[in-house]
């Protein structure tokens, strides 16, 4: 009989003989439990026709709130109550282990250490197929045959070019275009993956952070900002100011800090004038005795 069945409350009237079999149930519980750990009888619950579970308090300190549950049963028209089973079950107030969570959901940023491997799902939403050079890209893709042909035509030498001039090798090929766009990988970031990254960076180094609110200017006008490539460059860059707390981080163009290159330009120290040599008169020097 399952624990779920045991913990449920039946509306049936419990069988009288089964309810009276408290000592039989207690003996079974004591046989299963450690000596002296079966406490007082708590209740008798009908599980079905002529099937009753007796609950006893568990006195083990480590199992506070748990209960010994012994199920007894009686055959139809029989006068004898027999033992079914005896187990330890959690009660309504017992301390339980939290629900198990798979490691992939427990993982947090920063958990990955040197030598660790973090597998990605084959259907990871953050990723989508890239272009390896062997497959055919979709017709509307930036590396489609049409786009590659157009690129090749643009790269092709003029018709009147001398014959001994060798045209540039395969710059317009689909594979070359894919590599130039950074798509020559088995998988690339999907739109969802890009959006997730942008949200994260916006939160950590975006215009709503305290640092940005107090900054003298936004990163977009700072000389220390290194632009990104791809669609993310519209909103983000990398800070390259070693004195900024965001050095080496991806920052929103609307982020900012006190290290902004144009916030306070130090004036150059004034140069002392060149020494003047007066050659028109002599200085009299007193000689020592
Ligand atoms: S120094 Fe400050 S303002 Fe300039 S790019 Fe870095 S974070 Fe932005």
**Is the pLDDT assigned to residue 164 strictly greater than 70?**
no
* Percentage of the residues of the chain whose pLDDT score is greater than 70: 77
Residue closest by Cα to atom 8 of ligand 1:
219
Where is pLDDT greater, at 260 or 178? Answer: 260
| Mutation probe of ligand 1 site: the residue of 209, 224, 245 with most atoms within 8 A of C-beta | 224
Q: For residue 198, how far is its CA from the centre of ligand 1 (angstroms)?
A: 18
Q: For residue 264, how far is its CA from the centre of ligand 1 (angstroms)?
A: 13
Q: Is 12 exposed, middle or buried (0-12, 13-18, 19+ CB in 10 A)?
A: middle
Q: Taking all residues of the chain, what is their mean pLDDT, rounded to a whole number?
A: 84
- Count of all residues that appear for the chain in the document: 289
The owner of tokens 């916006």 is 202
Residue closest by Cα to atom 2 of ligand 1:
257
Check residue 227 and give its pLDDT: 94
In this prediction, residues 174-198 reach a mean pLDDT of 80
Check residue 45 and give its pLDDT: 94
Q: For residue 114, how far is its CA from the centre of ligand 1 (angstroms)?
A: 30
pLDDT tens digit sequence for 108-124:
888 989 998 888 888 89
Is the overall model pTM greater than 0.85, yes or no?
no
Q: What is the DSSP string of 72-83?
A: EEE-TT---EEE
In this prediction, residues 260-274 reach a mean pLDDT of 85
* Percentage of the residues of the chain whose pLDDT score is greater than 90: 51
Count Cβ atoms below 10 Å from residue 152 Cβ, excluding itself: 18
- Report the run of H or E that residue 29 belongs to, with start and end: helix 22-32
Q: For residue 261, how far is its CA from the centre of ligand 1 (angstroms)?
A: 7
Residues with CB under 6 A from ligand 1: 219, 222, 224-225, 239, 241, 244, 246, 251, 255-257, 259-260
Interatomic CA distance for residues 161 and 168, integer angstroms:
13
| Mutation probe of ligand 1 site: the residue of 221, 246, 263 with most atoms within 8 A of C-beta | 246
Check residue 228 and give its pLDDT: 92
pLDDT tens digit sequence for 216-265:
999 999 999 999 988 899 999 999 999 999 999 999 999 999 999 998 77
pLDDT tens digit sequence for 143-162:
556 655 665 665 555 555 45
In this prediction, residues 38-65 reach a mean pLDDT of 94
Check residue 169 and give its pLDDT: 47
């Amino acid at each position: 009989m399952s624990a779920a069945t045991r913990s449920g409350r039946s509306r049936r009237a419990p069988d009288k003989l089964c309810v009276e079999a408290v000592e039989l149930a207690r003996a079974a519980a004591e046989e299963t439990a450690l000596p002296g750990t079966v406490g007082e009888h708590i209740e008798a619950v009908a599980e079905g026709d002529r099937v009753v579970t007796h609950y006893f308090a568990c006195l083990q300190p480590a199992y506070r709130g748990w209960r010994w549950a012994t199920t007894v049963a009686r055959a139809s028209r029989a006068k004898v109550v027999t033992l079914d089973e005896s187990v330890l079950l959690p009660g309504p107030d017992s301390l339980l282990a939290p629900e198990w969570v798979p490691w992939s959901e427990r993982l947090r940023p920063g958990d990955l250490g040197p030598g660790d491997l973090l597998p990605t799902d084959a259907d990871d939403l953050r990723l989508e197929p890239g272009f390896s050079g062997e497959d055919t890209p979709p017709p509307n893709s930036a590396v489609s045959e049409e786009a590659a042909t157009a690129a090749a035509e643009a790269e092709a030498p003029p018709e009147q070019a001398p014959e001994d001039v060798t045209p540039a090798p395969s710059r317009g090929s689909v594979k070359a275009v894919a590599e130039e766009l950074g798509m020559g990988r088995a998988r690339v970031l999907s739109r969802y993956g890009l959006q997730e990254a942008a949200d994260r960076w916006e939160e950590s180094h975006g215009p709503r952070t305290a640092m940005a609110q107090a900054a003298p200017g936004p990163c977009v006008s700072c000389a220390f900002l290194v632009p990104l490539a791809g669609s993310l460059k519209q909103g983000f860059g990398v800070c390259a100011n070693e004195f900024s707390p965001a050095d080496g981080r991806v920052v929103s163009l609307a982020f900012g800090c006190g290290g902004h290159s144009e916030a306070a330009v130090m004036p150059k120290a004034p140069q002392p004038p060149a020494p003047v040599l007066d050659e028109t008169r002599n200085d009299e020097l007193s000689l020592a005795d």
